[in-house]
Structure 1
Amino acid sequence: MLKTGLIALSLALAVPAQAALDWDAALSGEHRSEKNAARDEYRHPRETLEFFGLREGMTVVELSPGGGWYTEVLAPLMADNGRYYAAHGSVNGGAYARRSLGSYLVKLGEDDDTYGRVMVSELSPPNAMAIAPEGSADLVLAFRNIHTWMRAGVLDEVLESVFAALKPGGVFGVVQHRGPEGNSIDDMKNTAYVTEDYVISAVEAAGFTLADRSEVNANPKDTADYENGVWTLPPSLTLGDEDRERYLAIGESDRMTLKFTKPAAE
């Protein structure tokens, strides 16, 4: 009995306990810009990440983090408490990709205390191994990017990369502007409003299983029928002052929130 207890104690000492996720520090810390924090009412970061199953000790990959809105939340949550890969664009992906990646790296470099442990990887289809080591990720996240990959003709390759990076049983979390059923492929590409059936079909074709869906990011005020697509609404407001108050009253887009899993190994 004593020997068994000593073995258990030695194992406990060998594997440090993971601290609980500090949501207050992540969401209310001084590192967050006021502009980004103001969007929490539309993006629901804690509720969304908890729905996807985020917990301490995970290896998490965010695809195409852009300017780093979710990086402000995920980096402090996972620092010393897991691993966070930000799979940004290629440095050789053209002028836009270079500007976006450059701005993101400046953001990280200006606050090493917050972002020093962020692992910047590359989303570069068809290089499936670039986003994270094969079979290493517990959770991969895609926030409002499906339409972009559709336009670029690389959605299948991106999904292959996600499947390769995830552990068996791992989760792929998708948030995407939701369009009305019946939208054509061209409509989806041009407006960014993708149908839920299309997303589910594409992801399941890549080998995933739909595990759950949530309405946490739904917005019933969004009619999704604007000539300029989703960019008509905040935060883009591409029409400027034209009907500005109307679009501000609608708020950000209606979004699907889908949780997929990679089948567990048999």
Structure 2
Amino acid sequence: MKPTLSALAVAALALVTGFGQAVAAEPDPALVQVVESRSEADRARDGDRHPVETLTFFQVKPGMTVAETLPGGGWYTRILANYLGSEGTLYGVNYVDRMWPMFSFATEEFIERQLKASAAFPGKVEEFTDNGISAKGFTFNTFPPEAAGTVDRVLMIRSLHNLNRFEASAGTRSQALAAVRAMLKEDGLVGVVQHRLPESQPEEGADGSRGYLKQSDVVAMFEAAGFELVASSEINANPKDQPGANDSVWRLPPSLRVDGDDPEQRAAMQAIGESDRMTLLFRKGA
């Protein structure tokens, strides 16, 4: 069956026309084909992550220059590398090197692996496609000068909470958003997908340390960094995810970090599914 955008997504997309961007209310068949041609394991998560709808909302097109932040294992990289095509460019943008030791769980092996991720990114892209797409990896503070002002889309998919988590102590979010702004073309857009904490929750624990951020806080931080909100969507909403005061996002799939590996608790978390997420689109302000 051909995927279609939800009514909410179409309505949100219509808001983007205000500054002259082309809007497609229906997904690009080429994007649908790329998504459907992936492995069964990757496609198993599409019902939670909605890649066709999300990339359509972000107005990603073949031939664009796209920066994917914190590409990790490559779930979205596989889609982007094949969809952008031979005329496209894909950057993998990782956290700054000094950030990795800040995680309480960080081992020497973990840190070393993360420090090598940027250099390994082009090789990973070559594993995902042979279409000849240009690919390069770097960190938020090492992006090449020639990349400045050349990026059509920056995608910050589930990468913002850790940047905010260490903002007070290390300024990581401010530095990253300044780098994002510098990378973008004048008409470039930033697409954000982020675990969402209900606005009614107390501010304590809303800093990203549990994986969650409030949508109002995300909008405020982007506005402070010189961006304007273009549109929001409920594409990746999940009303079943109602975290308690001490709940982290990692209790849910795919992490399923539950106390004592309790099978009943695991089943309950699997029934919720992946997190409730905001989906936001920003442009550079004047």
Q: TM-score, normalised by structure 2?
A: 0.75
Deviations, residues 10-69 of structure 1 (Å, cap 9, x unaligned): xxxxxxxxxx7722442122xx33222111101101101111111233211111111111
- State the secondary structure of the residue aligned to 2:216: helix
Identity of aligned residues (%): 39
Q: Assess, with a 3 A threshold, how the Cα gap between structure 1 residues 206 and 89 changes in structure 2: closer, same or farther.
A: closer
Match of 2:21 in 1: none
For structure 1, the residue ranges without an aligned partner over 5 or more in a row are 1-19
- State the secondary structure of the residue aligned to 1:22: helix
The letter for the 1-side match of 2:136 is V
| C-alpha displacement of 1:82 | 2.1
Contact 2:82–2:128 (Cα < 8 Å) also in 1: no
Q: Assess, with a 3 A threshold, how the Cα gap between structure 1 residues 81 and 118 changes in structure 2: closer, same or farther.
A: closer
Q: Assess, with a 3 A threshold, how the Cα gap between structure 1 residues 262 and 206 changes in structure 2: closer, same or farther.
A: same
Match of 1:5 in 2: none
For structure 2, the residue ranges without an aligned partner over 5 or more in a row are 1-27, 102-107
Deviations, residues 210-243 of structure 1 (Å, cap 9, x unaligned): 0000000000111022634000011100013241
Query: Structure 2 residue aligned with 1:113, among 108, 130, 137?
Result: 130
Pair 1:28-2:44 in alignment = no
Match of 2:174 in 1: 156
The letter for the 1-side match of 2:52 is R
Contact 1:209–1:262 (Cα < 8 Å) also in 2: yes
Aligned residues: 240
* d(CA) in 1 for partners of 2:147, 2:91: 10
| C-alpha displacement of 1:192 | 1.0
| C-alpha displacement of 1:106 | 6.1
Contact 1:67–1:103 (Cα < 8 Å) also in 2: no
Match of 2:271 in 1: 249
| C-alpha displacement of 1:109 | 4.9
Contact 2:151–2:184 (Cα < 8 Å) also in 1: yes
* d(CA) in 2 for partners of 1:174, 1:106: 26
Contact 1:56–1:78 (Cα < 8 Å) also in 2: yes
Structure with greater Cα Rg: 1
Deviations, residues 119-170 of structure 1 (Å, cap 9, x unaligned): 1221233x4x449711001111000111111123300100000100001121
* d(CA) in 2 for partners of 1:138, 1:111: 22
Match of 1:229 in 2: 248
Deviations, residues 77-122 of structure 1 (Å, cap 9, x unaligned): 01214222122356786643542428766644545526x5251221
Match of 1:178 in 2: 196
Q: TM-score, normalised by structure 1?
A: 0.81
- State the secondary structure of the residue aligned to 1:74: helix
- State the secondary structure of the residue aligned to 1:220: coil
Contact 2:62–2:85 (Cα < 8 Å) also in 1: no
The letter for the 1-side match of 2:34 is A
* d(CA) in 1 for partners of 2:32, 2:40: 15
* d(CA) in 1 for partners of 2:44, 2:134: 23
Q: Assess, with a 3 A threshold, how the Cα gap between structure 1 residues 87 and 208 changes in structure 2: closer, same or farther.
A: same
Match of 1:133 in 2: 147
Mapping of 1:137-148 within 5 angstroms?
A: 137-148=151-162
* d(CA) in 1 for partners of 2:166, 2:203: 16
